[in-house]
């Protein structure tokens, strides 16, 4: 597995990050431990967790699993509470206790909150870095303007900047292409892409012609059910596209996310050791420019429609500039 630059930090992380949201959920302790150990053997050195996953049990599993191996991973976790100073600091202390470590490599705001005080958030995040409890700080699910606004405040005060934005990105959820990905290129913000398989929809087990597979997250997840009804024909086409190339659909979907110049690494989420072994092979796939273009156009998303808004007869058509990842030299 190759390593990639983590934004502007100078740190190198593996090109796939291991997501652990299913630990203490669909994965019991033994399976979770086997998944982490196998991922490390494959060269993964970046592990993502959050205080809210299974109400802290996920972090507790990781604390036990990573005993003696802590220095081998770049470990990221997220604030679970409100976004006031006290909550940001105490949430980290509680995570550190569960994770059995003195520091995390990355401490992130999980979601922006209505009415949040950005200066207070950035000051508290800076405190976590100054105290040595976090090496870097970042965010998840921030709109581009909020990343820029937060980092402008940090810069004015000499505080730690947000080094990453963790966002949902897959063939169906494409909103980040409009502002967030170009911003990441321009400002060297690391992008970790969660949900690369659209909660499993892009793994070949869902189609318009077969019943919903039992024992899957999609069976009960409203998003998968909705996306399958909206994009079923495209899902079928995607599965055929993978089959014609002898590629597991899950790996094709992850390879597409990985191919974006703005993405640092996809976050691989699995429910079993077998899925982990299969999903690690995504790094072996290098899409051709034609394959990347074909996949990018396969799902009729709102973002795609917006980008196609070309005006006949107009001398300059600007919409494509919004997706231009190299606009700023």
Ligand X SMILES: NC(=O)c1ccc[n+]([C@@H]2O[C@H](COP(=O)([O-])OP(=O)(O)OC[C@H]3O[C@@H](n4cnc5c(N)ncnc54)[C@H](OP(=O)(O)O)[C@@H]3O)[C@@H](O)[C@H]2O)c1
Interface contacts to ligand X, rule CB under 6 A: 19-22, 26, 48, 110, 140-141, 166, 194-200, 203, 216-218, 250, 267, 269-271, 275, 278-279
Please state the closest distance from residue 4 (CB atom) to ligand X, in A. Answer: 17
Active-site entry in 29, 53, 107, 292: 53
Please choose, from the candidates 305, 298, 299, 295, the residue with its C-alpha nearest in 3D space to the C-alpha of residue 227.
Answer: 299
User: What are the φ/ψ torsions at residue 266 (nearest 5 degrees)?
Assistant: -75, 150
Nearer to ligand X, 154 or 167 (CB): 167
Residue 9 has which token pair? 């930090």
Please state the closest distance from residue 6 (CB atom) to ligand X, in A. Answer: 16
Please choose, from the candidates 132, 111, 285, 136, the residue with its C-alpha nearest in 3D space to the C-alpha of residue 196.
Answer: 285
Nearer to ligand X, 151 or 166 (CB): 166
The runs of H, that is alpha helices, within the chain are: 29-41, 57-65, 85-99, 118-130, 144-157, 180-187, 222-244, 249-258, 273-279, 289-296, 302-307
Nearer to ligand X, 176 or 307 (CB): 176
Please state the closest distance from residue 200 (CB atom) to ligand X, in A. Answer: 3
Cα–Cα distance list, 239 to 198, 214, 226, 251 (Å) = 14, 19, 18, 11
CA distance 212 to 329: 47
Q: Which residue has the tokens 């087990």?
A: 205
Nearer to ligand X, 9 or 279 (CB): 279
- Give every CB contact of residue 125 below 8 A, 6+ residues apart in sequence: 88, 107, 109, 134, 137, 159, 160, 162
* DSSP three-state, residue 71: helix
Q: Is 53 a catalytic residue?
A: yes
Please state the closest distance from residue 110 (CB atom) to ligand X, in A. Answer: 6
Please state the closest distance from residue 52 (CB atom) to ligand X, in A. Answer: 9
Please state the closest distance from residue 267 (CB atom) to ligand X, in A. Answer: 4
Nearer to ligand X, 146 or 322 (CB): 146
Cα–Cα distance list, 35 to 23, 164, 199, 269, 292 (Å) = 10, 25, 18, 10, 29
Nearer to ligand X, 170 or 307 (CB): 170
Query: Which positions are annotated as active-site residues?
Result: 53
């Amino acid at each position: 597995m190759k390593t990639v630059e983590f934004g502007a930090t100078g740190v190198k992380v593996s090109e796939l990050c291991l997501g652990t949201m299913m630990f203490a959920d669909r994965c019991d302790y033994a399976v979770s431990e086997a998944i982490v150990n196998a991922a490390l053997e494959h060269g993964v050195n970046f592990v993502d967790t959050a205080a809210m996953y299974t109400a802290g049990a996920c972090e507790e599993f990781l604390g036990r699993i990573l005993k003696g191996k802590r220095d081998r991973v770049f470990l990221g976790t997220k604030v679970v509470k409100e976004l006031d100073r006290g909550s940001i600091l105490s949430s980290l202390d509680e995570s550190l206790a569960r994770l059995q470590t003195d520091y995390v490599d990355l401490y992130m705001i999980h979601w922006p909150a209505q009415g949040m005080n950005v200066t207070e958030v950035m000051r508290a995040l800076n405190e976590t870095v100054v105290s040595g409890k976090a090496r870097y700080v970042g965010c998840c699910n921030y709109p581009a303007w909020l990343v820029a606004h937060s980092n402008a405040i940090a810069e004015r005060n000499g505080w730690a900047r947000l080094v990453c934005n963790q966002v949902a990105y897959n063939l169906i959820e494409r909103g980040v292409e409009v502002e967030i990905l170009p911003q990441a290129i321009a400002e060297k913000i690391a992008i970790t892409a969660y949900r690369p398989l659209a909660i499993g929809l892009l793994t070949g087990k869902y189609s318009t012609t077969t019943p919903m597979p039992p024992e899957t997250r999609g069976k009960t997840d409203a998003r998968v059910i909705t996306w399958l009804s909206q994009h079923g024909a495209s899902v079928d086409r995607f599965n055929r596209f993978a089959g014609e190339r002898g590629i597991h659909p899950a790996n094709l979907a992850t390879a597409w996310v990985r191919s974006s110049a703005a993405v640092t690494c996809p976050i691989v989420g699995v429910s079993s050791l077998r899925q982990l072994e299969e999903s690690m092979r995504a790094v072996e796939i290098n899409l051709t420019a034609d394959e990347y273009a074909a996949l990018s156009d396969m799902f009729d998303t709102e973002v795609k429609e917006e980008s196609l808004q070309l005006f006949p007869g107009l001398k300059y058509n600007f919409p494509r500039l919004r997706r231009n990842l190299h606009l700023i030299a």
